Structure 1
Amino acid sequence: MRIRYALTASAATAAAAALGLAAAVPAQAAEYSSALKIKGVQYDAPGRDSNKCSGGNTKNEYLTIKNYSKTATVNLKGYKVKDAAGNTFTFKNSHTLQPGDYASLRGGRGTDSDAKNVVYRQNCNFIWNNDKDTIYLYKPSGSRADVHAYTKKANDRDGNGYITYHG
């Protein structure tokens, strides 16, 4: 007769920590309990980078945030997007996402539109690095909703400057 011992997740974590076996988990490996997640990022705007407010291409650099809930409507007001260098954008206005809906947060200046699913940062500087960066999405409470690190070489196999995360 074989006796099997079950080790609960909390006991396994405690045992690993006690033995010093806890390893650093890559930022993108963690899953957070949030309906809103980063669907994808156009981190490298097509064409030659120009952050001029008139005629530049910062509006072509964008982050897509999607409501993955099947039932909950979520308001983006108070959510924050941040990069590894600490550049931060806070959604100051109401922008409601129905289940399955998305919004593109674009660089540059423009008029926000629920109908067109677009919010502008009202800043003509690029936020995402073209070689590597980390994208953080925070809930209004300050807790993390989602995070993804990328490198051009490892994550953008076709080299088009766009990376998809949660399908």
Structure 2
Amino acid sequence: MRIRRTVTAAATTAAVAALGLAGAVPAQAAEYSSALKIKGVQYDAPGRDSNKCSGGNTKNEYLTIKNYSKTATVNLKGYKVKDAAGNSFTFTKNHTLQPGDQVSLRGGRGTDSDAGNVAYRQNCNFIWNNDKDTIYLYKPGGARADVHSYTKSANDKDGNGYITYHG
């Protein structure tokens, strides 16, 4: 007599969590849980780094976030961007992305514009490291929407300070 055992997905998930293996899943596995994804990052602003609010180049350091949905419009209000050191920016204003639309989140000070697809951090300090960093994008409820790590040597072969993640 053969005994057939069926293990449900819920039981497997509970067992993995109980063993502490849930954190073993690569961070990039979570990236497809949202229509919004990190399209790319200009982590090293062209020129000599200067975080002066007047005449500095922090506005040339930016993160591009794109709505990859074919049908859903997404409001960025409440979404949060963070780096490995804990520096963060939360979209506090309504900024709507239509399907296929994108926004550049720039450093420095400026006027946010839906029409210009730009938002400013209103902070003149750089957020992304020039050698390596991890970029996190969180939904308003705190769930991770996308995450990418980079190193200059491994991910920026042409050395221009820009990395593309999702085309």
**Are positions 1:130 and 2:100 aligned together?**
no
Which position in structure 1 is the counterpart of 2:39? 39
Partner of 2:50: 50
- What is the Cα deviation at residue 30 of structure 1? 3.6
Letter in 2 for 1:59: K
Tell whether the 8 Å contact from 2:31 to 2:144 is kept in structure 1 after alignment.
no
Q: Does residue 156 of structure 1 match 2:152? A: no
| Shift of residue 10, structure 1, vs aligned partner | 3.6
Contact 2:51 2:126 in 1 (8 A): yes
Equivalent position SS for 2:24: coil
Aligned to 1:120: 120
How many residue pairs end up in the alignment?
Answer: 161
Could you say what the CA RMSD is over the residues aligned between the two structures, in angstroms?
2.4
When normalised by structure 1's length, the TM-score is 0.87
Task: Map 1:57-76 to 2 at 5 A.
Answer: 57-76=57-76
Does the CA-based 8 Å contact 1:32-1:144 persist in structure 2? no
**Per-residue CA shift, 1:6-56, capped at 9, x if unaligned?**
x98949x66x959x8x58343234433201000000000000000000000
Contact 2:30 2:144 in 1 (8 A): no
Percent same amino acid among aligned pairs?
A: 86
Corresponding residue SS for 1:163: strand
What corresponds to 1:106 in structure 2? 106
Say yes or no: does 1:88 pair with 2:84: no
Q: Which structure 1 segments of 5+ residues have no match?
A: 1-6
Distance 1:52 1:38, change over 3 A: same
**Kindly tell me: are residues 8 and 41 of structure 1, through their superposed partners in 2, closer, same or farther at Cα, counting changes over 3 Å?**
farther
| Cα distance in 1, alignment partners of residues 39 and 48 from structure 2 | 25
Kindly tell me: are residues 26 and 53 of structure 1, through their superposed partners in 2, closer, same or farther at Cα, counting changes over 3 Å?
Answer: same
Work out the CA distance in 1 between the residues paired with 2:30 and 2:114: 30
Aligned to 2:3: none
After TM superposition, give the deviation of residue 57 of structure 1 in Å: 0.2
Q: What amino acid is the match of 1:67?
A: N
> CA separation in 2, counterparts of 1:146 and 1:91?
16
Whole-Å separation in 1 of the counterparts to 2:81 and 2:28: 15
Using the alignment, how far apart are the partners of 2:8 and 2:107 within structure 1? Answer: 42
Give the Cα–Cα distance (whole angstroms) in 2 for the partners of residues 145 and 132 of structure 1. 21
